[in-house]
Amino acid sequence: MSIMLNAENVWFRYSQEGDWALKDISLQVEKGEFVAVLGSNGCGKSTLAKLFNAILLPEKGDIIVEGINTKEEEKLLDIRQKVGMVFQNPDNQIVATVVEEDVAFALENMGVPPREIRTRIDEAMQSAGIYKHREKGPHQLSGGQKQRVAIAGIIAMRPDCIVLDEPTAMLDPYGREAVINTVKKLNKEYGITVVLITHYMTEAAQADRIVVMTKGKIEKMGTPKEIFSQVEYMQSLALDVPQTSALAYEINKHGFNLSTEAISIDECAAQLYKFLEE
Amino acid sequence: MLKDITIGQHFPGKSPVHNLDARLKIVITVLFVIVRFMSTNFPGLILSGVFVLAMYKLSGIPLKMLKKSIKPLMPLIVFTVILNLFFIKGETPLIKLGFVEIYPEAVMFIIVMISRILLLICGTSLLTYTTSTIALTDGLEALMKPLNKINFPVHEMAMMMTIALRFIPTLIEETEKIMNAQKSRGALLDSGSFSDKIKALVPILVPLFISAFRRAEELATAMECRCYHGGEGRTRLRQLKITNDDIRYTAVCMVTFAVILSMKLFFTRVI
């Protein structure tokens, strides 16, 4: 497996004398991986996202995107094409007044010939599941649909990696589910590397690997099972665990011995069933 | 109340008016405005009225929309009427009430003036109703392209327009949210003297501006993330192309305008 994103001892701060927003971050994301970044507010996870496609540049250390250092200014557009970004507020990332023209925005900027734009945006809109809304205005769509328009606008660029900065924070549960399913599909079917920054543990639980950040540092890395089974530790960082792990943890407090590694509802139910049978 | 503002709203459709090339549509609209100002007789006025109505019929835009776009202009119209009714003097008064004299010239003037304003509003809003804002800005950009030679930032202007139009509904929604939030905290927005009402606007405008700036910053980042780097080397999803239909419809409009103008030769001007 080759490495998609590589952060090497990255230090970053917003002003010269200010506090460090990121302290000595080293993180490798492999091609095709689905990584979730967890952390409480102000832990630097959004800052890290912006470093990955050269919106911000590290003060010390390097970010390497498929062999390109983000500090190479002449490669800026290549980097942005390789690493697409989706932000929290869907309203503030839609430029055009019609869905399909917004999806085409990146391709227009890249100077893709009009015919090819057409085929690529149709593909992108279909994989994001918004093809039937292509002629609507953004104000006619729900939050979840708008966020999928933003995702379509990114996948039309055919990036190798998508960084999503709390894409579901402003959505209702249905919109949230639709967006996460789209992201999972992009990862599984198209092999696009995904870095998902989120507050929701159920979303993080679906990733291949979880990175936990606090105060500008990486606290822990591991599979969702490894991370969420440490209920007390997560709580000490003011982070939740999925309700399934929390349930097992609470039951264990009363002297039982359930595994907190059962994250999905099915797994948890199966475990409880087995437990009750015994 | 705020939802009534319709300028800049687009009603998607497939009528000939919708399909007409944006550049031609803009030119036709500008010509219509010019013709409207030059033609000063009744037949010309009536013909323009028929033209606008026919265009609305053809485009399938409900006439209800017309009423909506005229509504915010009512104060202006009423003001014009009152002002002109009493201040235009002719030879023999039509009605005499004490010191108030109303002359037939004034009545004529008002009729022409009002129908002019109405036709202008209706005619020009048809442009925004039937043209998506992107087509509109594409058209403007194409028409203004020659200005590039004198270093006029044509693409940047077009981009600014697109974004402004895109955010009108968003900001209207936001304004309503802020108004409700302030109302729920006891702000009195609709009552009090005129100066009270103006003062009541401050707690609405300040958060609106702050949020607009924040949006602008986020939007700029999002645009950068999608490789935006100015107009250089940009292509377009939609290529502007003039079809035979476009030429036919434009010809029809031109002939109508010529007829309206030629009325000048046969009828005396009203004002």
As a whole number of angstroms, the distance between CA A228 and CA B197 comes to 55
- Residue in chain A nearest B221 by alpha carbon: A55
pLDDT tens digits along B146-178: 888 888 888 888 888 888 878 888 888 899 999
Instruction: Report pLDDT for A36.
Output: 92
Phi, psi for residue B235 in degrees, rounded to 5: -110, 175
Mean pLDDT of all residues in chain A? 86
Residue A196's pLDDT band (cuts 50, 70, 90): very high
Give the least confident one: A35-39, A238-242, B248-252.
A238-242
> Domain segments of chain B: what residues?
2-266
As a whole number of angstroms, the distance between CA A85 and CA B240 comes to 30
Mean pLDDT of all residues in chain B? 83
More confident residue, B196 or A64: A64
Flag whether residue A259 sits within 8 Å of chain B, measured between CB atoms. Answer: no
**Of A86, A17, A61, A1, which Cα lies nearest the Cα of A218?**
A61
Tell me: pLDDT of A74 over 90: no
Tell me: pLDDT of B1 over 60: no
pLDDT tens digits along A146-174: 999 999 999 899 899 999 998 888 888 88
Flag whether residue A265 sits within 8 Å of chain B, measured between CB atoms. Answer: no
Tell me: pLDDT of A7 over 60: yes
Give the least confident one: A92-101, A110-119, A255-264.
A255-264
Flag whether residue B136 sits within 8 Å of chain A, measured between CB atoms. Answer: no
Q: Which residues contact A118 (CB under 8 A, 6 or more apart)?
A: B237
**Of B195, B11, B246, which Cα lies nearest the Cα of A137?**
B11
Q: Percent of chain B, pLDDT > 70?
A: 95
Instruction: Report pLDDT for A194.
Output: 93
In this structure, the number of other CB atoms found within 10 A of the CB of residue B82 comes to 11
> Domain segments of chain A: what residues?
3-223
Instruction: Report pLDDT for A163.
Output: 93
pLDDT tens digits along B70-115: 888 888 888 888 888 877 777 777 777 777 777 888 888 888 888 8
Residue B269's pLDDT band (cuts 50, 70, 90): low
Residue B270's pLDDT band (cuts 50, 70, 90): low
Question: How far is B30 from chain A, CA to nearest CA, in Å?
Answer: 23
As a whole number of angstroms, the distance between CA B9 and CA B144 comes to 23
Give me the residues paired with residue B97 across strands.
B100
Number of residues that this document lists for chain A: 278
The shortest CB-CB distance from B234 to any of A77, A111, A135 is to A111
**Of A50, A53, A45, which Cα lies nearest the Cα of A72?**
A53
As a whole number of angstroms, the distance between CA B222 and CA B13 comes to 30
**Of A236, A226, A225, which Cα lies nearest the Cα of A267?**
A225
Instruction: Report pLDDT for B271.
Output: 55
Vertex B46: Cα angle to B43 and B47 (nearest 5): 85
pLDDT tens digits along B135-152: 888 888 889 888 888 888
As a whole number of angstroms, the distance between CA B127 and CA B18 comes to 9
pLDDT tens digits along B9-56: 677 788 888 888 888 999 999 999 998 888 778 888 888 889 988 988
Contacts of B235 in chain A (CB under 8 A): 107-108, 111-114, 117
User: 3-state DSSP helix/strand/coil percent for chain A, to nearest 5?
Assistant: 45, 20, 35
pLDDT tens digits along A12-23: 988 888 888 888
| Token digits of residue B79 | 């003001």
Tell me: pLDDT of A199 over 70: yes
As a whole number of angstroms, the distance between CA B110 and CA B92 comes to 17
Fold designation for A3-223: Rossmann fold (3.40.50)
As a whole number of angstroms, the distance between CA A226 and CA A262 comes to 10
Tell me: pLDDT of B233 over 70: yes
Give me the residues paired with residue A63 across strands.
A7
Chain A residues 75-94 within an 8 A CB cutoff of chain B: 77, 80-81, 84-85, 87, 89, 91-94
